[in-house]
Amino acid sequence: MTINDCQIMGSLPQCLHMLSHLTRLHIYNCPALEIEDFPPLPVTLSSLVLNHCSKIKSIANCNIANCNNLIELEIWECPILEIEDFPPLPITLQRLKLWDCPMIKSLPNKWHHLTSLQELLILVCQNIKCSPKGGLPPKLRKLVISGLEDLKQPVREWGLHLLTSLESLIIEVNMGGEGEKEWFPSEDEDAWSLFPFSLTYLSIYDLRKAKRLSSGLRNHLSSLKYLTIAKCPKLRYLPEDGFPPSLQQLRIYRCKILKERCAKLTGNYWPLIEEIPNIEIDD
C-alpha cells in the first residue's frame, strides 16, 4: 500500500493491523495526516516508510517490535514526530534510515541485538546526543552519520573497529564548535585503527581544527577504494606514508590549504597522489 500526495486525508484506519497480507506501507507527502499515535501495524509488514508527513506525532503504540518480517524502516521529514524512548525493533530489520526529524531524541535501545541490520543512516536529527550503550549493530555494511549537532561521543567510543563487515562509512559531525574536541582524533598515531579493516568507502567531513592526518592509513585500511576529505579548512598535511594501493578515487573539497598543496604538477603533495586513478579537488 502506497499513499502519496494526499492533501486532505486526515487519519489512518484503526483496523490497519487486520490487513493480514499487507507487506508494505509507504506514506509520502500527506500534510493533513494528523496522528496522535500510530495505529497498530500488521505483523506481516516488511517495509514501513513515512516521508514528509508534518503532523504525525508518535509511533509509540504501533507495536513495530511484533512485525517479525520487517526489513526496512524509513522516517523522513516528520518534524513533530517525537520519540523520547525509541520503541524496540525486530531482529529482522536490515535497513534503518532517519532523516530530518528534530524531535527524535533517542536511538533504539539494545540495537547491538539487531544482527540483521546492514544499512544505518541518521541525518539531521539534531536532538540525538549519544549512541545507545552496548555498541552498534554488529553486521553493518553501511553507516552514515550527518548533521547530529549535539552528538557528544567521539569516534573512539563508537566501537567502529568491531564492525568487521563495514564497507561504507560517511561521518559529518560538529561536536560543539571551536572549543570542543573533534569527533575524530586525526593527529593521533593510532587514529586509523579506530576504523575496521573492511572499509572500502570512507568520507571524512567537518574536522574544523585538524591540521594533519596521521600516518597509518596505507597499512590499516588496505582495502580502501574511495576516500573523501571535506570541510577541513585548516588541514594541510596528508599521511606521510601515503595511501593504500587499492585507492581508486580521492575527493578533496572545501579544504583550501590542501587544494593548493595537491594541485596537479605544482603542489608538493602531487607526487604522493598522482598515481590514484581518479582525483577530484574542488572549492
Q: Tell me: the pLDDT tens digits for 105-150?
A: 988 878 889 999 999 999 999 888 777 777 899 999 999 998 887 7
Which among 70, 100, 130 is the end of a domain? 100
Shared-domain flag, residues 283 and 147: yes
| Structural domain contains residue 72 | yes
DSSP annotation string for 3-38: EE--SS-----TTGGG-TT--EEEEES-TT--BSSP
| Structural domain contains residue 280 | yes
Q: Tell me: the pLDDT tens digits for 209-235?
A: 889 999 999 999 999 999 999 999 999
Q: Could you give the number of structural domains in the chain?
A: 2
Shared-domain flag, residues 171 and 68: no
pLDDT of 177 higher than 60? no
Shared-domain flag, residues 92 and 155: no
Q: What is the rounded distance in angstroms from the CA atom of residue 66 to the CA atom of residue 138?
A: 22
Count how many residues are written for the chain: 283
DSSP character at residue 66: G
| Structural domain contains residue 83 | yes
Q: What is the CA 179 to chain-centroid distance, rounded?
A: 24
Enter the pTM of the model: 0.92
Shared-domain flag, residues 190 and 279: yes
Taking alpha carbons only, the member of 257, 255, 273 closest to residue 265 is 273
Neighbours of 33 (CB within 10 A): 20
| Structural domain contains residue 190 | yes
DSSP annotation string for 157-222: GTTGGG-TT--EEEEE---SSTTSPPSS-TTSTTGGGGS-TT-SEEEEE--SS--BPPTTHHHHTT
Percent of the chain with pLDDT over 90: 65
Instruction: Please give the residue range of the domain that contains residue 196.
Output: 141-283
Which among 100, 125, 154 is the end of a domain? 100
- The residue whose grid cell reads 506525532 is 57
